[in-house]
């Protein structure tokens, strides 16, 4: 049951290949096209620069808030339940 999402991705990828083949698009020519490689290289560098210079610090800040306010108390509560104490009692 856990592999349901993976199976769906494989089926979608296979359908994409079939559709592109029916449209007459050659995947090998797409991936060997220097202009396409250059464009994707530019896009990758631009996204890396965007992440490294502008987005990583706010996302790390929000992640730290989420971990402190939600994740750590949740894990502590589950550890307490596993140890036999109630969800609103201090851990033993």
Q: Burial-class residue 77 by CB neighbours within 10 Å (0-12, 13-18, 19+).
A: middle
Domain boundaries, the chain: 1-32, 33-92
| Distance of alpha carbon 75 from alpha carbon 62, whole angstroms | 18
pLDDT tens digits for 66-80?
999 999 999 988 888
The pLDDT value given to residue 86: 75
> Which residues are CB-neighbours of 9 under 8 A, at least 6 positions away?
none
pLDDT tens, residue by residue, 3-41: 678 888 899 999 999 998 899 888 888 888 899 889 999
Cα(83)–Cα(92) distance, rounded to whole angstroms?
8
């Amino acid at each position: 049951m856990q592999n349901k999402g993976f199976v769906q991705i494989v089926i979608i990828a296979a359908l994409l290949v079939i559709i592109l083949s029916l449209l007459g698009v050659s995947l090998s020519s797409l991936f060997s096209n220097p202009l396409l490689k250059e464009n994707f290289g530019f896009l990758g560098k631009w996204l890396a620069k965007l992440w490294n210079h502008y987005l990583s610090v706010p996302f790390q800040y929000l992640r730290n808030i989420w971990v402190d306010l939600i994740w750590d108390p949740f894990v502590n509560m589950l550890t307490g339940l596993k140890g036999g104490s109630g969800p609103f009692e201090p851990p033993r």
